[in-house]
């Protein structure tokens, strides 16, 4: 078909796709040969999504993907420094460029690049040509440099947000219409492309000037009339540079094209060629999706390495032929003999629930060598669909008590190592049956010591990564959702294969990780900070904490009433009923119906209604103020007063949280089901929820928490004399900071000043930025930046520490705490926005991590230290430990526990600042804290 009226041409900015894809995805490699393909994968996915999105009546008639050509362009002749400050391409991206061209052709889309021109030039020329021929043009890109082309039948489409960009959006961004965009860009310059522009003039000022004078040439001609002296001089001095800048950003229609518009006609993908490409790339999921859509058979995606491939990692595959269920005493005794002989065993328990405090043990699997594994079923019942809900025990199983009695000596034998994955789970299950497993090894914790920051440490992930083995998904056995059954209802056959595999995989992981601990220098971390946490946390979790359900119930009722009342007021103010809990509906009411200013839309196009935003609005309006009140109460009710009682264990009458040891990247614990590390305390109303965490009669709750532990660690590791001395003198650290920064005496200090210093102190720990501090303190960004500059001036050691830490991270790919804990920093050498986050995380990790190490050390020593007291350690909240202790022993407990906590760093590390622990006690957690 000839190109003319009615034709719709889509021009896809291929290079933008590639960079998006590259930065959005982890560095994937092709399994068979290690070829980096992450960007190609993302690129292909985006193209496929684009094709699916363009199926309607507005579908394009012509389409092309345009790429930058990897050579200098004519712009470098105009200005040699053009794009000179671009960082080098990542090593693993370069080889993917040709593959993205292959991908484009595989999708049967025209693929265009021209020596000496940027993609933008070709897009401009094509857009002009198509427009002149009477067609409609859509540029699929969000690149602001292309916005000058908008208008007269040319629009842009942001592929990520699937949002059209027209003249209005251009005005929003540049303050001028598309025809004046280049003028603004010429003035403002562009640091990314190294377009110089006029120094000191940004987009805002540029738009203002252009709007005032009409266009760039008029402005430059009449620059002498500008009132502001500095601005006037800048324009006069830099006129030539500004004109060069304009030529750099300007796109014209004259780029030579050696093909016709007709040749870009949309063609259906050819299933065979496309699927061949995708399967060769080994994109399993996409291959299957595309095959399904095109109604073709997906070719098998094989990733077997070519026979002559050199360093391809060995992928043994797991031979399951020797797995066998153990169902009689003789067979069990044989296994026990083998275990005693070899001195270790990998073990896994299968139960009816993920809640260790309620789970029923239904089987145990053991492994003594790769491929050598067994499952001992003890509690399986006939299928779950029995009409009368009766459970019929399945034949061919040993008696639970007999099995446990036979295994107990082995599991408690100090000469036999018990290896598990997330062994705290199994440790607790067995503890409930009177077996205290020791000694132990935990592959999850080994991976955590080695790989924190790189990936998570669940068995499925570890098996795939390190053994090249996909484990049987639990869903295949128990299903999911409503029809889910428990493991006890799984057939012995299936259960045996699954359970034996788990033990087998665990043993293989152990053999993989064990030799790496010393070579990676994390043995001490694993042995002193990870492994010992298993019995300590197991015991704490089993102890649980008592909760007063009646108090919570009363609070819930009061909250419900208050919410109803607020809802009435809110509806009245809004003039209609709506769901106050829906940010979407609320945003529409506030910013559309009521027309309040300050509506900011996020990437999903929804208005933000966060507390920040509502607080600003609440200054002038009642409705947002009411919503804030409602939100606070709704949160307290749903997350705490309503939810907590559902976690009370019917047998113990207490709440048993679960701590993940390897959940957080920094060494902190995380609490789940329920999370008892985020019980309210900051607001008066919220704090009352802590009144429902109560001591058993005759007991008290005691809370001990480290004072300013992270700042103390910072003072030590960054070696800041002023800070260290302040901690030794026991002075108010934030007041001291304020005094040093603003040259004011500590006596009679304005609380506002102290508050600002406090915010900066915290900011430093988090890898401070002017933006963040300004938002936190609600002050102008420049002011915040000035604070930070002053701070660094007064405490130059902090800057040095930050620089040093980032350098370490870049060099080693990881940072370490004082105690040797390694936190990997895989994103640190990236460029772009992710780098900022990675940098701050790297700065924070050694500080947060060392604090986590210290409280771990205290917790590990605690059980022995308080063994002589009628006291139990119940909870950890990052820098706080909560105990339950008999009334008469409160003071003793405080003395002992404080001593353990304050000296927890030693002897491994001798801190140059004291650690200080504050203590409180009471009938409930609110009083104790």
Q: Per CB under 7 A, which of residues 743..802 are in contact with DNA?
A: 759-760, 762-764, 766-769, 771-773, 775-776
Spatial separation of the C-alpha atoms in residues 580 and 589, rounded to whole Å: 10
Identify the H or E element spanning 169. Answer: helix 167-174
CB of 647 closer than 8 Å to CB of 655: yes
Q: How far is the CB of 595 from DNA (least distance, A)?
A: 18
Find, among 520, 510, 526, the residue nearest to 814 by Cα. Answer: 520
Q: How far is the CB of 122 from DNA (least distance, A)?
A: 13
The correct pick among 2, 341, 390, 604 for binding DNA (CB under 7 A) is 604
CB of 331 closer than 8 Å to CB of 496: no
CB of 660 closer than 8 Å to CB of 354: no
Burial 255-280 (b: 16+ CB within 10 A, else e): beeeeebeebbbeebeeeebbebbbb
148-177 binders of DNA (CB under 7 A): none
The correct pick among 670, 779, 865, 923 for binding DNA (CB under 7 A) is 670
The correct pick among 502, 567, 879, 884 for binding DNA (CB under 7 A) is 879
- Extract the tokens encoding 204: 């805002």
Q: How far is the CB of 298 from DNA (least distance, A)?
A: 21
Name the residue nearer to DNA (CB basis): 363 or 674.
674
Identify the H or E element spanning 921. Answer: strand 917-922
Q: How far is the CB of 895 from DNA (least distance, A)?
A: 22
CA distances from 90 to 21, 119, 400 (A): 13, 20, 58
Q: What is the largest CA-CA distance in the chain?
A: 102
CB of 133 closer than 8 Å to CB of 236: no
Spatial separation of the C-alpha atoms in residues 463 and 475, rounded to whole Å: 17
Per CB under 7 A, the segment of 440-448, 532-540, 805-813, 844-852 that binds DNA is 844-852
Name the residue nearer to DNA (CB basis): 797 or 879.
879
Per CB under 7 A, the segment of 124-132, 241-249, 488-496, 842-850 that binds DNA is 842-850
CA distances from 742 to 176, 728, 750, 753 (A): 43, 22, 11, 8
The correct pick among 116, 370, 581, 813 for binding DNA (CB under 7 A) is 581
Per CB under 7 A, the segment of 56-64, 230-238, 695-703, 871-879 that binds DNA is 871-879
Look at the block and give the residue holding tokens 């809370």: 703
Q: Does 524 bind DNA (CB under 7 A)?
A: no
Q: How far is the CB of 729 from DNA (least distance, A)?
A: 23
Q: How far is the CB of 926 from DNA (least distance, A)?
A: 12
Each residue 108-147 as x (binds DNA by CB under 7 A) or -, in order, gives: ------------x---------------------xxxx--
328-357 binders of DNA (CB under 7 A): none
Name the residue nearer to DNA (CB basis): 185 or 506.
185
Per CB under 7 A, the segment of 93-101, 680-688, 734-742, 902-910 that binds DNA is 680-688
The SS3 assignment for 274 reads helix
60-99 binders of DNA (CB under 7 A): 83
CB of 140 closer than 8 Å to CB of 157: yes
619-648 binders of DNA (CB under 7 A): 628, 631-632, 634-636, 638-639, 642-643
Spatial separation of the C-alpha atoms in residues 377 and 177, rounded to whole Å: 74
CB of 633 closer than 8 Å to CB of 581: no
Name the residue nearer to DNA (CB basis): 370 or 813.
813
- Extract the tokens encoding 116: 């000496």
435-464 binders of DNA (CB under 7 A): none
CB of 69 closer than 8 Å to CB of 98: no
472: DSSP letter:
P
261: DSSP letter:
G
Per CB under 7 A, the segment of 510-518, 671-679, 800-808, 895-903 that binds DNA is 671-679
Per CB under 7 A, the segment of 331-339, 496-504, 602-610, 895-903 that binds DNA is 602-610
CB of 500 closer than 8 Å to CB of 350: no
The correct pick among 673, 789, 807, 812 for binding DNA (CB under 7 A) is 673
Name the residue nearer to DNA (CB basis): 163 or 554.
163
Q: How many chain residues touch DNA (CB under 7 A)?
A: 87
12-71 binders of DNA (CB under 7 A): 16, 19-20, 23
Spatial separation of the C-alpha atoms in residues 173 and 651, rounded to whole Å: 62
For strands 110-112 and 62-66, give the pairing.
parallel
Q: Does 610 bind DNA (CB under 7 A)?
A: yes
Name the residue nearer to DNA (CB basis): 443 or 657.
657
Spatial separation of the C-alpha atoms in residues 140 and 10, rounded to whole Å: 7
CA distances from 775 to 113, 683, 737 (A): 44, 21, 20
Name the residue nearer to DNA (CB basis): 499 or 723.
723
Name the residue nearer to DNA (CB basis): 299 or 645.
645
Per CB under 7 A, the segment of 329-337, 406-414, 437-445, 872-880 that binds DNA is 872-880
CA 201: distance to chain centroid? Answer: 37
Find, among 502, 477, 469, 497, the residue nearest to 323 by Cα. Answer: 497
Residues whose CB falls within 8 Å of the CB of residue 185, separated by 6 or more in sequence, listed in order:
145, 148, 174, 195, 197, 206, 245, 246, 249
CB of 906 closer than 8 Å to CB of 890: no
- By CB atoms closer than 10 A (0-12, 13-18, 19+), residue 551 is middle
Spatial separation of the C-alpha atoms in residues 248 and 230, rounded to whole Å: 25
Name the residue nearer to DNA (CB basis): 219 or 452.
452
Spatial separation of the C-alpha atoms in residues 758 and 734, rounded to whole Å: 5
Look at the block and give the residue holding tokens 């503890």: 431
Name the residue nearer to DNA (CB basis): 368 or 671.
671
Name the residue nearer to DNA (CB basis): 515 or 833.
833
Name the residue nearer to DNA (CB basis): 374 or 805.
805
Name the residue nearer to DNA (CB basis): 656 or 878.
878
Per CB under 7 A, the segment of 130-138, 300-308, 551-559, 841-849 that binds DNA is 841-849
The correct pick among 831, 868, 906, 918 for binding DNA (CB under 7 A) is 831
CA distances from 882 to 702, 863, 925 (A): 6, 13, 8
Q: How far is the CB of 61 from DNA (least distance, A)?
A: 27
Q: How far is the CB of 819 from DNA (least distance, A)?
A: 17
691: DSSP letter:
G
The correct pick among 584, 621, 688, 810 for binding DNA (CB under 7 A) is 584
The correct pick among 60, 674, 920, 922 for binding DNA (CB under 7 A) is 674
Q: How far is the CB of 159 from DNA (least distance, A)?
A: 11
Find, among 472, 462, 539, 499, the residue nearest to 351 by Cα. Answer: 499
Name the residue nearer to DNA (CB basis): 153 or 663.
663
The correct pick among 652, 678, 725, 895 for binding DNA (CB under 7 A) is 678
CB of 509 closer than 8 Å to CB of 463: yes
The correct pick among 233, 582, 793, 895 for binding DNA (CB under 7 A) is 582
Per CB under 7 A, the segment of 105-113, 384-392, 501-509, 605-613 that binds DNA is 605-613
Name the residue nearer to DNA (CB basis): 681 or 800.
681
Burial 332-346 (b: 16+ CB within 10 A, else e): beebbeebeeeebbb
Name the residue nearer to DNA (CB basis): 131 or 631.
631
Name the residue nearer to DNA (CB basis): 765 or 889.
765
279-318 binders of DNA (CB under 7 A): none
The correct pick among 183, 193, 348, 350 for binding DNA (CB under 7 A) is 193
Name the residue nearer to DNA (CB basis): 105 or 810.
810
């Amino acid at each position: 078909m000839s190109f003319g009226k009615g034709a719709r041409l889509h021009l896809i900015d291929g290079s933008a796709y590639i960079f998006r894809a590259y930065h959005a995805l982890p560095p994937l490699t092709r399994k068979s040969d290690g070829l980096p393909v992450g960007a190609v994968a993302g690129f292909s996915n985006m193209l496929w999504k684009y094709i699916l999105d363009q199926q309607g009546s507005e579908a394009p008639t012509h389409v092309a993907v345009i790429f930058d050509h990897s050579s200098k362009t004519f712009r470098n002749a105009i200005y040699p420094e053009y794009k000179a400050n671009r960082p080098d391409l990542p090593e693993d991206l370069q080889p993917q460029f040709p593959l993205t061209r292959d991908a484009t052709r595989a999708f049967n889309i025209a693929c265009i690049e021209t020596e000496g021109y940027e993609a933008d030039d070709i897009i401009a020329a094509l857009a002009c040509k198509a427009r002149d021929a009477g067609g409609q043009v859509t540029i699929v890109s969000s690149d602001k440099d292309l916005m000058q082309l908008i208008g007269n039948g040319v629009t842009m489409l942001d592929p990520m947000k699937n949002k059209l960009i027209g003249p209005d959006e251009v005005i929003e961004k540049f303050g001028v219409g598309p025809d004046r965009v280049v003028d603004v860009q010429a003035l403002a310059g562009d640091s990314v492309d190294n377009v110089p522009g006029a120094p000191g003039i940004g987009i805002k000022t540029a738009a203002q000037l252009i709007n005032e004078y009409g266009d760039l040439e008029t402005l430059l001609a009449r620059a002498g009339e500008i009132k502001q002296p500095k601005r006037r001089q800048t324009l006069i001095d830099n006129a030539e540079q500004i004109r060069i800048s304009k030529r750099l950003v300007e796109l014209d229609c004259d780029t030579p094209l050696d093909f016709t518009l007709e040749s870009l006609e949309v063609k259906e993908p050819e299933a065979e060629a496309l699927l061949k490409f995708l399967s060769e790339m080994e994109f399993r999921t996409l291959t299957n999706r595309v095959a399904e859509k095109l109604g073709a058979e997906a070719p098998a995606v094989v990733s077997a390495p070519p026979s002559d491939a050199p360093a391809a990692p060995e992928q043994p595959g797991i031979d399951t032929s020797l797995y066998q269920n153990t169902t009689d005493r003789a067979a069990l005794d044989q296994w026990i003999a083998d275990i005693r002989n070899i001195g270790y065993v990998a073990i896994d328990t299968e139960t009816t629930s993920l809640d260790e405090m309620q789970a029923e043990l239904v089987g145990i699997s053991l492994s003594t060598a790769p491929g050598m594994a067994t499952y001992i079923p003890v509690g399986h019942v006939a299928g779950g669909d029995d009409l009368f809900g009766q459970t019929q025990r399945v034949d061919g199983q040993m008696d639970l008590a007999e099995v446990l009695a036979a295994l107990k000596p082995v599991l408690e034998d100090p000469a036999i190592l018990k290896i598990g994955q997330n062994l705290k789970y199994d440790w607790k299950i067995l503890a409930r049956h009177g077996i205290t497993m020791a000694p132990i090894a935990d592959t999850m914790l080994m991976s955590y010591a080695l790989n924190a920051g790189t990936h998570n440490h669940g068995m499925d992930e570890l098996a795939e990564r390190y053994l090249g083995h996909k484990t049987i998904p639990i869903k295949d056995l128990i299903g999911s959702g409503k029809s889910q059954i428990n493991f006890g209802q799984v057939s012995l056959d299936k259960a045996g294969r699954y359970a034996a595999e788990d033990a087998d995989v665990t043993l293989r992981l152990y053999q993989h990780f064990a030799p790496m601990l010393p070579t990676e220098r994390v043995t001490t971390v694993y042995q002193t900070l990870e492994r010992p946490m298993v019995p300590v946390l197991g015991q704490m979790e089993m102890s649980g904490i008592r909760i007063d359900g009646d108090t919570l119930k009363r609070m819930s009722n009061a909250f419900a009433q208050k919410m109803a009342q607020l809802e009435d007021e809110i509806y009245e103010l809004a003039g209609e009923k709506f769901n106050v809990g829906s940010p979407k509906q609320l945003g529409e009411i506030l910013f559309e119906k009521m027309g309040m200013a300050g509506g900011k839309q996020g990437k999903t196009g929804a208005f933000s209604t966060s507390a920040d935003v509502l607080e600003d609005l609440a200054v002038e309006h009642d409705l947002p103020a009411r919503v804030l009140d409602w939100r606070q109460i709704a949160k307290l009710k749903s997350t705490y007063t309503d939810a907590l009682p559902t976690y009370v264990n019917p047998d113990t009458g207490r709440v048993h949280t679960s701590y993940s040891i390897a959940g957080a990247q920094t060494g902190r614990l995380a609490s789940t089901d329920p999370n008892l590390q985020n019980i309210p305390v900051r607001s008066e109303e919220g704090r009352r929820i802590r009144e429902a965490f109560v001591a058993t009669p005759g007991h008290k709750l005691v809370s001990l928490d480290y004072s300013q532990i992270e700042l103390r660690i910072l003072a030590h590791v960054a070696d800041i004399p002023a800070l260290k001395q302040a901690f030794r003198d026991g002075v108010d650290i934030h007041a001291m900071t304020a005094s040093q920064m603003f040259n004011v005496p500590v006596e009679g200090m304005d609380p506002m000043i102290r508050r600002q210093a406090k915010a900066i102190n915290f900011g430093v720990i988090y890898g401070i930025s002017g933006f963040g501090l300004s938002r936190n303190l609600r002050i102008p960004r420049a002011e915040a930046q000035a604070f930070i500059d002053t701070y660094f001036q007064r405490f130059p050691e902090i800057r040095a520490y930050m620089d040093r830490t980032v350098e370490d991270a870049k060099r080693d790919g990881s940072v370490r705490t004082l105690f040797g804990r390694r936190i990997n920093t895989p994103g640190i050498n990236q460029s772009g926005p992710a780098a900022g986050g990675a940098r701050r995380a790297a700065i924070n990790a050694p500080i947060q991590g060392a604090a986590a190490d210290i409280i771990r050390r205290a917790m590990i020593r605690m059980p022995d230290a308080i063994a002589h007291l009628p006291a139990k350690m119940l909870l950890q909240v990052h820098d706080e430990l909560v105990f339950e202790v008999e009334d008469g022993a409160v003071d003793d407990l405080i003395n002992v526990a404080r001593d353990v906590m304050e000296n927890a760093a030693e002897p491994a590390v001798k801190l140059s600042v004291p650690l200080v622990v504050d203590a409180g006690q009471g009938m409930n957690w609110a009083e104790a804290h």
